[in-house]
Amino acid sequence: MAKHNEQHKDKVQSDITEKVLFINRCSKVVKGGRKFSFSALILAGDGKGKVGYGFAKANELTDAIKKGGENARKNMQKFPMEGTTIPHEIQVEWDGACVLLRPVPRGGGLIAGSKIRDVLEMAGIKDVMAKSLGGNNPINLVKATFKALSQLRSRESVRNSRGQ
């Protein structure tokens, strides 16, 4: 029975894809020379509205990527979508990064910079115009994009809050 559960769990996890967004190498000068450590920013998504990110540090690159991937899978969130686009325009700031997301008619495509584009592709959003208006730090851009996506509201939730 336990083996069957593990197989089912692997099937559920297999549709989630991971992508390494950014790797940073840090060096510390010590008595014997330089000691390197790595930090990794990882994205995980299923392409159907669920996406998450993970940031991890380790002395080995593979360990940092593995830890970041686990964090990304743990922190996956679902966002409201309207077909292949987002419900409304939104602008959000996070530290120095400012992100503007604007819906585009069906077939308009994904118009966005590298890090924001990766997040939206992993979430399965296909028709959006995005613009980075602030800094270009990858971690802050990803966090600003996630903050923007989490503040999106569907038409139904707005109708319910207005009592219509």
Domain 79-162 has CATH 3.40.50.620: no
DSSP string covering 33-101: EEEEEEEEEEEEE-SSSEEEEEEEEESSHHHHHHHHHHHHHHT-EE---BTTB-SS-EEEEETTEEEEE
Query: CATH code for 2-77?
Result: 3.30.160.20
How confident is the model at residue 3, as a pLDDT?
54
Q: Enumerate the domain spans of the chain.
A: 2-77, 79-162
How confident is the model at residue 13, as a pLDDT?
55
How, if at all, do strands 128-132 and 110-111 pair? parallel
> Looking up tokens 């686990």, which residue turns up?
70
Q: Do domains 2-77 and 79-162 have the same CATH topology?
A: no
pTM given for the model: 0.85
Low-confidence ranges of the chain (pLDDT < 70): 1-14
